[in-house]
């Protein structure tokens, strides 16, 4: 069975790399994430270069471009500044697709009621965040991840920090949710 660990976050301002689970924990199911347009696969990251399952996903979804980024203080220039930038609440005009090849990280997304959901990512996890969803990214306490970034066509790196409600893609995203976000 395909599974992912996700939960509603607490309101703590504590270090962003901590889990921030509520007490008691309030898990979020894969089905709930899919209603927000977030999709997930568990793959074998040890064979990512030749994996037929990854190749089929890429073909079916049109992911024609990819690269690999290693996020660690020894490999990423301006490491702390980049982590702060990744953690700014933003959206993209295209889907964000990430495949964790090693290490761990978190993606946080906003639900219909504007609550944060934290998605725990580890080796083998592939996730797509829909264009127009408010989200952010951070590492865990391990301070390391290696990820494949996938794109439809040429990569677009532009993030639009919140508020960005004026974008047509944001409006389309909200309209696609039953009940809307606020």
Q: What is the pLDDT of residue 37?
A: 97
Q: Is the pLDDT of residue 92 over 70?
A: yes
- The domain locations on the chain are 39-175
Q: Is 31 assigned a ligand-binding role in the annotation?
A: no
CATH class of the domain comprising 39-175: mainly beta
pTM: 0.95
- pLDDT exceeding 70 applies to what percent of the chain? 96
Q: Is 96 assigned a ligand-binding role in the annotation?
A: yes
Residue-wise pLDDT tens digits, 119-153? 999 999 999 999 999 999 999 999 999 999 999 99
Q: What is the pLDDT of residue 178?
A: 61
Closest CA to 181 of 53, 89, 100, 101: 89
Q: Is 135 assigned a ligand-binding role in the annotation?
A: yes
């Amino acid at each position: 069975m395909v599974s992912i660990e996700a939960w509603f976050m607490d309101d703590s301002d504590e270090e962003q790399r901590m889990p921030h689970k509520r007490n008691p924990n309030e898990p979020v199911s894969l089905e709930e994430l899919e209603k927000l347009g977030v999709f997930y696969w568990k793959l074998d990251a040890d064979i990512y270069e030749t994996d037929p399952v990854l190749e089929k996903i890429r073909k079916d979804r049109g992911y024609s471009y990819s690269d690999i980024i290693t996020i660690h203080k020894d490999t990423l220039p301006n490491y702390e500044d980049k982590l702060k930038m990744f953690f700014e609440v933003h959206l993209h005009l295209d889907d964000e697709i990430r495949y964790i090849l090693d290490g761990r990280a978190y993606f946080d997304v906003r639900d219909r009621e504007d609550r944060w959901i934290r998605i725990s990512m580890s080796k083998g996890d592939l996730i797509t965040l829909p264009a127009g969803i408010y989200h952010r990214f951070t590492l865990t306490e391990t301070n390391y991840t290696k990820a494949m970034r996938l794109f439809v066509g040429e990569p677009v790196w532009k993030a639009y920090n919140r508020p960005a409600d004026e974008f047509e893609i944001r409006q389309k995203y909200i309209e696609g949710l039953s009940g809307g976000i606020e």
